[in-house]
Amino acid sequence: MSAAAAQSDNYRLIDLFLDMQAAERGAAENTLAAYRRDLDHAGEQFRRAGVGLADAEPEHVAKFLTGLGEMGMAPATRARKLSALRQFYRFLLAEGLIEEDPCHGFTGPKKARALPKTLSIGEVDQLIETARGCCRATHGGERYRAVRLYCLLEVLYATGLRVSELVSLPRDVLTGDARVLTVKGKGGRERMVPLSGAAVAALREFMALGLSAEDDMSATVATRWLFPSKSAQGHLTRQRFAQDLKEVAEQAGLDAERVSPHVLRHAFASHLLDRGADLRAVQQLLGHADISTTEIYTHVLQERLKALVEQHHPLAVKKA
């Protein structure tokens, strides 16, 4: 098979796999994009070895995985790429498009489960207060963007939403009880998340502002999304929110590299557990399908129990 034919066949098979993931498993757009990147990368490496994805043998997979290590890719990245290949070949095998799975018998690199990066309660307070201060110090379009960022921060820290869920909230999510949001998460699963008083107040302030004249968006876009934008999606992008967040982090005197929407999601979960919340409740709020995903936060519970014993157990040895 020529290189061009192999590449064309790769694209066709990847599209079939992604269609299945979207239709049968409800995979989100970001998940599908990640699968495509990983499979395109593997397909390109196999093509250089003279084979297409459908014709790959175990030795091609082994060489691909070895190459990832030689390139210095992190264990988590290598494990993700192998996982994508595994699922891809299981699909091809189930569809009768290949006779043997070339990934059979391969195991991913062992890696320690990293603790989630987070911020202290004081750092989150500092971040939010800085964003609130920017609202008072700006006017016009700048004030609109400042109030929007402050609103996003309050809602994110109050709910622990994924950033993709937050920026794509529809405007009608505010109908009904103003103290609760109904969110559609991964796989189309809906969950209800309560809002704090501060988040409710921030939302009211943002909605009262309306769109600034310079944003000049159509009424359709303006009424469809809670956080509208002139982006292709019609709503604020994850990238723009992350950029605005880093800017306000610098103004707050924090290390901007430590601050991201996902870090604030981690902070939400960690601070809830630190204050005594049940792990199952946090699982539901975060929208995790499996509690094993939420268990990464158990280090917070362990530290709290350790502190409890050290402070209150009569036999605890206190160092001077």
Between 140 and 199, the more confident residue is 199
- What is the rounded CA–CA span in Å between residue 80 and residue 238? 22
Q: For this structure, is 110 an active site residue?
A: no
Given a cut of 80, whether residue 39 has pLDDT beyond it is yes
Considering 36, 262, 299, 304, which one is annotated as catalytic? 262
Residue 125 corresponds to which amino acid? D
What's the fold here for domain 121-307?
hpI Integrase; Chain A (1.10.443)
Per-position DSSP letters for 198-263, written without gaps between them: HHHHHHHHHHHH---GGG---HHHHHHBSSB-SSTTSB--HHHHHHHHHHHHHHTTS-GGG--HHH
- What is the rounded CA–CA span in Å between residue 132 and residue 151? 9
Mean pLDDT for 39-61 is 92
Q: Are strands 190-194 and 180-184 parallel, antiparallel or unpaired?
A: antiparallel
The band of 222, judged by pLDDT with boundaries at 50, 70 and 90, is low
Q: For this structure, is 78 an active site residue?
A: no
Structure confidence by residue, pLDDT tens digits, 265-280: 999 999 998 888 888 9
- What is the rounded CA–CA span in Å between residue 3 and residue 216? 48
Structure confidence by residue, pLDDT tens digits, 285-305: 999 988 888 888 876 666 666
Supply the pTM of this predicted model.
Answer: 0.64
Q: What is the pLDDT of residue 1?
A: 59
- What is the rounded CA–CA span in Å between residue 187 and residue 139? 40
Q: Are 194 and 180 in contact (CB under 8 A)?
A: yes
Q: For this structure, is 288 an active site residue?
A: yes
Given a cut of 80, whether residue 219 has pLDDT beyond it is no
Q: For this structure, is 104 an active site residue?
A: no
Using only C-alpha atoms, the chain has a radius of gyration, in whole angstroms, of: 24
Q: For this structure, is 186 an active site residue?
A: yes
Q: For this structure, is 80 an active site residue?
A: no
- What is the rounded CA–CA span in Å between residue 309 and residue 311? 5
Considering 186, 191, 246, 304, which one is annotated as catalytic? 186
Q: Where in the chain are the domains?
A: 3-94, 121-307
The SS3 of residue 112 is: coil
Considering 47, 162, 238, 266, which one is annotated as catalytic? 162
